Structure 1
C-alpha cells in the first residue's frame, strides 16, 4: 500500500493537481473552488490506485477481504488524504513541519508509547 501511495502521488497525480490542490481564496490569485476540484480529482485517482493494488495483492496472496471493510478503509484513507492535501486545516507553518521531520524519534517516551499502542 505504501508503494501504491507513492505511485498515486508521484506518477499519477497531474502537475496541475499538485500545484492547485492547496489553493484558497485567502491567498491572492488563488481559488478555493479550483483547489477543491484539483484535490478531489487527485484523491479519486489516489483511492483508485490503492483499490487496484489492494485487489491485485489480495488475489495474488489468496486473501478474502470483506468488501465493506475494504470500502470503509479506502473511504477513511481518501477522507484523511483530502483533508491533509487541502492544507488549510494544518495550522503549523510548512517550515515548522520540515523541522519536525528532522527530529529523532528513535528513543524516548513518544516512541515507547507508539510501540505500546501497536502491541
Structure 2
C-alpha cells in the first residue's frame, strides 16, 4: 500500500531539518537552495519562493521571520492567497524589497496559480 503524501512530506521535512541543523551539511544545503532558485526555478523569475531560497531559508525558517506558519508561507508562495497589509510589510522587511517589487511578485504568482488551476 502506498505511503500517504502527508507522511512522505513529513519524512522529507524531517530529513531537511536534520541536514540544516548539521554543521557538516549546512553549507551544502545553502548552496543547494541557491542553485534551485537560480537554475531550476529560473523561468519563474523573482517569486517569494526564489527569493526565500536565495536567502537560504526553508519555509519554516521564513515563517518564523514573518511571524506566521509554514502552511501560510506555502499558501503565499503558491499564489492562491491575498496577504494582509501587515504580512506584506513583513515580507518587504524580511526580503529587503520595495512595495512595488512585492506587488509585481504577488501578481506574477497569482497569474501562475490561475494558469495551473485552468489545467
TM value normalised by structure 1: 0.30
> Which structure is higher in helix share?
2
TM value normalised by structure 2: 0.30
Question: Which structure: larger Rg?
Answer: 1
Higher relative contact order (CA 8 A, sep 6+): 1
